[in-house]
């Protein structure tokens, strides 16, 4: 026969009363009120320090989770994702297909908008194939 509260009550993280005895649930350890009264001051203080450390750790973890959820709701990008999003994938080099006959350093790969020099030459009556490399 088990001493202490029934198993469904063992999962409760607070103190509860059963048969005129108070039980404290600290994980695997359930202490009766008279056991606490038998502990010395130093032992009680050590128990309090352990509880404070465990509580601080759990509160910090919960705070981090809540702050992350708040940032997601506000639409902010997490720092580790921000660096990945800013990096562009490497594109292959595109060779130029058209060259300006007046200035050979001006070239165009045929992608995007036509450059001004090419528009002006086409407007003057030339065909685009005349400038193909």
The structural domains of the chain, with segments of one domain joined by +, span: 7-84, 98-131
pLDDT at 99: 93
What pLDDT is stored for residue 57 in this prediction?
Answer: 93
Six-digit token string for 70: 């708040």
Q: How does DSSP assign 63-113, residue by residue?
A: HHHHHHHHHHHHTPPPHHHHHHHHSPPPPPPPPP-EE-SS-TT-EE-S-SS
User: What per-residue confidence (pLDDT) applies to 20?
Assistant: 45
Tokens of 94: 């595109």
Residue 122: predicted pLDDT:
92
Query: What 8-state DSSP symbol labels residue 4?
Result: S
* Residues 56, 61, 64, 65, CA torsion sign: negative
pLDDT tens, residue order, the chain (133 aa): 444 444 444 555 555 555 445 555 555 556 677 787 888 888 888 888 988 999 999 999 999 999 999 888 888 766 555 556 667 788 888 999 999 999 999 999 998 999 999 999 999 999 999 999 8
CA 73 to chain centre: 12
Q: Where are the alpha helices (DSSP H) in 3-78?
A: 7-10, 33-38, 41-74
Residues 6+ apart with CB under 8 A from 103: 117
**Stated pTM of the model:** 0.35
Q: Residue 56: what pLDDT?
A: 94
Task: Report the pLDDT value the prediction gives residue 44, as an integer from 0 to 100.
Answer: 86
| Amino acid 87: pLDDT | 77
């Amino acid at each position: 026969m088990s001493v202490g509260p029934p198993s469904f009550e063992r999962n409760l993280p607070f103190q509860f009363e059963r048969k005129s005895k108070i039980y404290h649930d600290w994980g695997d350890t359930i202490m009766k009120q008279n056991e606490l009264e038998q502990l010395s001051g130093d032992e009680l203080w050590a128990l309090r320090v352990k509880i404070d450390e465990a509580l601080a750790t759990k509160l910090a973890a919960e705070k981090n989770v809540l702050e992350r959820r708040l940032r997601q709701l506000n639409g902010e990008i997490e720092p580790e994702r921000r660096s990945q999003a800013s990096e562009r994938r490497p594109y292959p080099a595109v060779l130029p297909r058209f060259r300006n006959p007046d200035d050979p350093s001006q070239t165009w790969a045929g992608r995007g908008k036509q450059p001004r020099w090419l528009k002006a030459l086409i407007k003057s009556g030339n065909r685009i194939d005349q400038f193909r490399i």
